[in-house]
Amino acid sequence: EVQLVESGGGLIQPGGSLRLSCAASGFTVSANYMNWVRQAPGKGLEWVSVIYSDGNTYYADSVKGRFTISRDNSKNTLYLQMNSLRAEDTAMYYCAREVDDTLTGYYDYWGQGTLLIVST
Amino acid sequence: DIQLTQSPSFLSASVGDRVTITCRASQGISSYLAWYQQKPGKAPKLLIYAASILQSGVPSRFSGSGSGTEFTLTISSLQPEDFATYYCQQLNSYCSFGQGTKVEIK
Q: Which chain A residues contact residue B38 at CB under 8 A?
A: 45
Residues 6+ apart with CB under 8 A from B81: none
B-chain residue closest to A113, CA distance: B43
Helix/strand number for chain A, H first, E second: 0, 11
Instruction: With CB atoms and an 8 Å threshold, state whether A44 touches B44.
Output: no
Judge whether residue A10 has pLDDT over 90. yes
- Closest alpha carbon within chain B to A101: B50
pLDDT over 80 (residue A102): no
pLDDT reported for residue A104: 83
Main-chain phi, psi angles of B81, to 5 degrees: -75, -5
Chain A residues with a Cβ under 8 Å from any Cβ in chain B? 35, 37, 44-47, 50, 58, 61, 94, 98-101, 103-108, 110-113
Query: What does DSSP say about strands A3-7 and A57-59: parallel, antiparallel, or unpaired?
Result: unpaired
pLDDT tens for B46-83 read: 999 999 999 999 999 999 999 999 999 999 999 999 99
Q: Is the pLDDT of residue B106 over 90?
A: no
In three-state secondary structure terms, A84 is coil
The 8-class DSSP code of residue B91 comes to -
Q: In this predicted structure, what is the pLDDT of residue B61?
A: 98
